[in-house]
Amino acid sequence: MSDTVASAPAKSKVSSPLLTIVIASLTLFSMFFGAGNLIFPPMVGVSSGTNFWPAIIGFLIAGVLLPVAAIVAVAISGYSVRDLAARGGVFFGVIFSVMAYLSIGAFYALPRTGAVAMETAVTPLVGWEGTAANGIFNLIFFGIALALSWKKSSVIDVLGRFLTPALVILLIALICLAIFNYERLPGAPTEDYSSTPMVTGLFEGYNTMDAIAGLAFGIVIIGSLRAKGFGSGGTLVRSTVLTGIIAGVLLAGIYLGLGYMAQTVPNGQSYESGAALLADSANLTMGTLGQTIFSLIVILACLTTAVGLISATSAFFNTLVPKLSYHVWAIIFTVLSIAIAFRGLDAVMAVAVPFIVFLYPPAITLIVLTLVQPLVRKVVGFYWTYRLALWTSVIWSALTTIAAQGWGTNILEPVLNLSPGQDLDLGWITPTFIVILIGVVIDIATKNARREAA
């Protein structure tokens, strides 16, 4: 673990390990659960119609299973995403981790929290809009987030003890009132959900970016648990894994509730966004009070995620460039987020898709190999398996992203389309799997060669 996270807080005796893990789980849930997580499940619900279950299962695979797996992978491998990514080589470890933190930090997910809070919570409730209102709100919003994340050792207490319980209570109230007041009447699935509901739901889950966020949030949870006296080694790993599982179960329950609730809203498929659908659902069930509750849910969801992102990204870049303190990095990322969020949600979202398309294949490859390695350690130690597989997924993902931007499409697409599932953006799986098998053979052969030489 990095000195930045490990040494700052003094270790304390664990007075109640189970309570600490529960609080840490609520913290992790709140860090994952941003406005996107609030908006995507309802749209999966209304768009999938009668194909609700395969669609929501696909969403849960990408939106819950992968993030929890990422937390487990970080716990097994070390104490940061850089430790994990270094298995692909030093260069890969630095570049991938920097891109991951920037994508969930100041260049996308962090400014999105402020932009979404403004456009889906504040403007509908009080009518404030325009450049001046947007700027003032984001200054206040990110100022509060910076203050809450200023003492990194207290993040787990701020989120787990106070903000998250309020968020969860409001979410459960909204879901229950909608479900009990309206009958569930799923319609016919839309075109995408009619032909490939699980795959379509899977990609909606991708859009949360939580698998990549899980790699980054691991350092915050591990650092907080160590500060609470969990030490290191097996105890810390088991506690981190349990924290991830509890947070994942809570996420899955909320996602199911939001998706199910959306199917109770009259004419649900007429809505273009989950935000509008949820806002109207709150209005229908509780009037102005409902709209107020919905706005509080959005603001809390965005704020808790912003606190987690500032803390995680600042801790990481402090380990990368120790000459700049955690607090300096926190200020830098807060200012950058204000500047980007100031331009509005559309400007923030414009950079999202290329990042998601590019980062997910190597991230998933890294997570899967890290989880498999302990199971086969006695037979083979992954060395070339990591390097070959990760670079294959990176190259394939980069080419797919380039082609999607319209650059060299005529040359790239015929080659990329040779791989099964490329039309679903899953073409990277086959070449990566083939290279994994090659890497395993090389690792076994080189291991035997070393034994013979010895």
300, 67, 205, 39 alpha-carbon torsion, rounded to 10° = 0
Residue of higher predicted confidence among 252 and 221: 252
Angle between helix axes 352-376 and 66-77 (nearest 10 degrees) is 50
| Alpha-carbon span 444 to 153, nearest angstrom | 43
**What tens digit of pLDDT does each residue of 370-408 get?**
999 989 988 898 999 999 999 999 999 999 989 988 888
Q: What pTM does this model have?
A: 0.84
pLDDT-derived band at 7 (thresholds 50, 70, 90) equals: very low
Give the residue from 42, 49, 356, 37 showing the smallest Cα distance to 192: 49
**What tens digit of pLDDT does each residue of 184-221 get?**
888 899 988 998 899 999 988 887 888 888 888 877 78
> Where in the chain is CATH 1.20.1740.10?
3-343
Q: What is the DSSP secondary-structure string of 391-436?
A: HHHHHHHHHHHHHHTTSSHHHHHHHHTTSTTGGGT-TTHHHHHHHH
Residue the block writes with tokens 């609520």: 26
What per-residue confidence (pLDDT) applies to 449?
54
- Taking 80 as the threshold, does the pLDDT of residue 164 lie above it? no
| Alpha-carbon span 331 to 47, nearest angstrom | 40
What per-residue confidence (pLDDT) applies to 8?
37
Give the residue from 189, 194, 202, 196 showing the smallest Cα distance to 59: 202
- Taking 50 as the threshold, does the pLDDT of residue 9 lie above it? no
CB 128, CB 122: distance < 8 Å? yes
User: How many percent of the chain have pLDDT more than 90?
Assistant: 35
pLDDT-derived band at 152 (thresholds 50, 70, 90) equals: low
- Taking 50 as the threshold, does the pLDDT of residue 4 lie above it? no
| Alpha-carbon span 78 to 133, nearest angstrom | 44
Burial of 450 from C-beta contacts in 10 A (0-12 / 13-18 / 19+)? exposed
Give the side-chain half-sphere CA count within 13 A for 294: 34
- Taking 70 as the threshold, does the pLDDT of residue 361 lie above it? yes
What per-residue confidence (pLDDT) applies to 454?
46
- Taking 90 as the threshold, does the pLDDT of residue 417 lie above it? yes
Average pLDDT, the chain: 84
- Taking 70 as the threshold, does the pLDDT of residue 453 lie above it? no
What fold characterizes domain 3-343?
Amino acid/polyamine transporter I (1.20.1740)
Residue of higher predicted confidence among 86 and 275: 86
- Taking 70 as the threshold, does the pLDDT of residue 359 lie above it? yes
39, 40, 42, 46 alpha-carbon torsion, rounded to 10° = 130
- Give the highest mean pLDDT range of 11-15, 125-129, 308-312: 308-312
CB 67, CB 303: distance < 8 Å? no
